[in-house]
């Protein structure tokens, strides 16, 4: 991309009063940003109200020109600094299917990660030790299985998720979506982790360089986390929590929502339990997530130890067979009492010898 074209994109997103929505509206009408700034008043007035049209006609402010210059210097400073627009192939394509994709993204690191199969892992900043360990464990195992882990580089669950992904022996790695400029380190205690993610993963932001930590930018950042992934896993979250908003945004965009359950006495599990009640999938392991995402060929198995041979029910197993058979017929053919039979069938089901089908029918699995 030419510097002039980048300057037009920056002018557009830095214009006071122009958010992603207005920017996309203008782009949809005029095509590239250059065309917006080249248009005359009467043309602009067909698309936007007069105050905005007049604003678009003014030359860029001192502040905007300085931001453009700083961006050019930053891009020239390192080969892994990138400026990605909606029109760019590196732009996360899944984000385009959401209601509010940002017009541009700044990135530091491996931009090719932005279009990998990915999962967001989010949660409380004040996570428990166990919560942090869980986030680390899920992220590591999922990255190991080839899933890029997306999070917000906040303290607590976010940080544990990023570092878990980086601990995997895999190039799936991790994407950090910031609520500040990509050149800002926030919070300061995440300095080392931020440098690590820049180097081995990628850090992105829709906010201009040098944008400091401003409270209301963080919820906006969450829509990117939710929108660029195939699903969101919430590890620990209080009832009123940004993570629940991220999960809600994900559900609204048709993404899967996963939640890790915990003690009913832990305030940081209440958010997860709320999500599960509202339809999120309860997950106990990375394997559960992979299966739900359809990213594993393995049948669902609680494979800590192979199930024991169902010696006690071998006759019943014989009777069930590999074609569906209904309960009534099993009662008749087995001669067992229905209560006892259902118990035996459930045992066989739990040890994955039979599967229960709709309509009280059963089928042998192995």
Query: Does residue 302 interact with its own copies by CB under 8 A?
Result: yes
Give the CB-side neighbour count of residue 353, counting CA atoms within 13 A. 22
Q: Which is nearer to its own copies, 193 or 234 (CB)?
A: 234
Q: Which is nearer to its own copies, 74 or 353 (CB)?
A: 353
Provide the mask over 214-253, with x wherever binding to its own copies is found by CB under 8 A and - wherever it is not: --x--xx-xx---------------xx-x-xx--xx--x-
Query: Does residue 299 interact with its own copies by CB under 8 A?
Result: no
86: left (phi over 0), alpha (psi -120 to 50) or beta: alpha
Query: Does residue 97 interact with its own copies by CB under 8 A?
Result: no
Binding positions for its own copies, 133-152, rule CB under 8 A: 134
Q: Pull the structure tokens for residue 78.
A: 């390192």
Query: Does residue 130 interact with its own copies by CB under 8 A?
Result: yes
Please state, in angstroms and as integers, the Cα–Cα distance from residue 170 to each residue in 3, 145, 149, 225, 257, following that order.
35, 8, 12, 21, 24
Q: Which is nearer to its own copies, 66 or 126 (CB)?
A: 126
Query: Does residue 263 interact with its own copies by CB under 8 A?
Result: yes
Binding segment for its own copies (CB under 8 A), chosen from 32-40, 60-68, 106-114, 339-347, is 339-347
| Site size for its own copies (CB under 8 A) | 48
Q: Pull the structure tokens for residue 341.
A: 């039979």
Give the residue, chosen from 41, 301, 350, 357, that forms a contact with its own copies under the rule CB under 8 A.
350
Q: Pull the structure tokens for residue 131.
A: 């919560």
CB atoms within 10 A of CB 287: 18
Query: Does residue 339 interact with its own copies by CB under 8 A?
Result: yes
Measured N-to-C along each axis, helices 242-252 and 267-277 cross at an angle, to the nearest 10 degrees, of 10
Query: Does residue 366 interact with its own copies by CB under 8 A?
Result: no
Residue of 112, 86, 120 whose CA lies nearest to 101: 86
Q: Which is nearer to its own copies, 33 or 101 (CB)?
A: 101
Task: Quote the DSSP letter at residue 216.
Answer: T
CA dist 266 and 287 (Å) reads 25
DSSP characters over 44-68: HHTTS-HHHHHHHHSPPPHHHHHHH
Binding segment for its own copies (CB under 8 A), chosen from 27-35, 190-198, 268-276, 315-323, is 268-276
Looking only at the bridges linking them, the beta strands covering 81-85 and 104-109 are antiparallel
Query: Does residue 270 interact with its own copies by CB under 8 A?
Result: yes
Query: Does residue 293 interact with its own copies by CB under 8 A?
Result: no
Contacting residues toward its own copies, per CB under 8 A: 19-21, 99-100, 130, 134, 216, 219-220, 222-223, 239-240, 242, 244-245, 248-249, 252, 260-265, 269-270, 273, 276-277, 281-285, 302, 337-340, 342-343, 346-347, 350-351, 360
């Amino acid at each position: 991309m030419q510097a002039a074209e980048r300057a037009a994109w920056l002018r557009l997103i830095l214009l006071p009063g122009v958010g992603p929505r207005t920017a996309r509206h203008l782009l949809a009408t005029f095509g590239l940003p250059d065309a917006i700034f080249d248009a005359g008043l009467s043309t602009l007035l067909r698309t936007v109200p007069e105050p905005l049209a007049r604003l678009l006609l003014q030359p860029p402010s001192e502040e905007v020109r300085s931001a453009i210059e700083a961006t050019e210097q930053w891009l020239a400073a390192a080969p892994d600094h990138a400026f990605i627009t909606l029109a760019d192939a590196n732009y996360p394509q899944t984000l385009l299917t959401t209601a509010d994709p940002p017009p541009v993204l700044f990135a530091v690191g491996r931009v090719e990660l932005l279009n990998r199969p990915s999962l967001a892992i989010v949660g409380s900043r004040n996570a428990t030790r166990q919560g942090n360990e869980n986030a680390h464990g899920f992220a590591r195992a999922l990255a190991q299985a080839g899933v890029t882990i997306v999070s917000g580089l906040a303290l607590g669950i976010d940080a544990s998720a990023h570092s878990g992904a980086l601990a995997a022996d895999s190039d799936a790695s991790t994407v950090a979506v910031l609520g500040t400029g990509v050149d800002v380190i926030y919070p300061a205690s995440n300095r080392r982790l931020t440098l690590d993610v820049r180097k081995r993963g990628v850090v992105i932001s829709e906010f201009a360089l040098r944008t400091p930590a401003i409270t209301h930018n963080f919820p906006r950042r969450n829509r990117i986390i939710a929108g660029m992934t195939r699903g969101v896993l919430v590890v620990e979250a209080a009832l009123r929590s940004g993570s629940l908003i991220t999960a809600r945004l994900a559900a609204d965009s048709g993404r899967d929502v996963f939640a890790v359950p915990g003690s009913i006495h832990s305030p940081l599990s209440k958010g997860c339990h709320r999500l599960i009640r509202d339809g999120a999938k309860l997950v106990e392991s990375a394997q559960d997530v992979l299966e739900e995402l359809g990213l594993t060929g393995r049948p669902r198995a609680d494979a800590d130890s192979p199930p024991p041979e169902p010696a006690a029910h071998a006759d019943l197993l014989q009777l069930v067979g590999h074609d569906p058979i209904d309960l009534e017929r099993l009662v008749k053919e087995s001669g067992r009492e229905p209560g006892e039979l259902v118990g035996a069938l459930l045992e066989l089901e739990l040890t994955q010898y039979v599967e229960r089908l709709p309509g009280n029918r059963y089928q042998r699995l192995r």
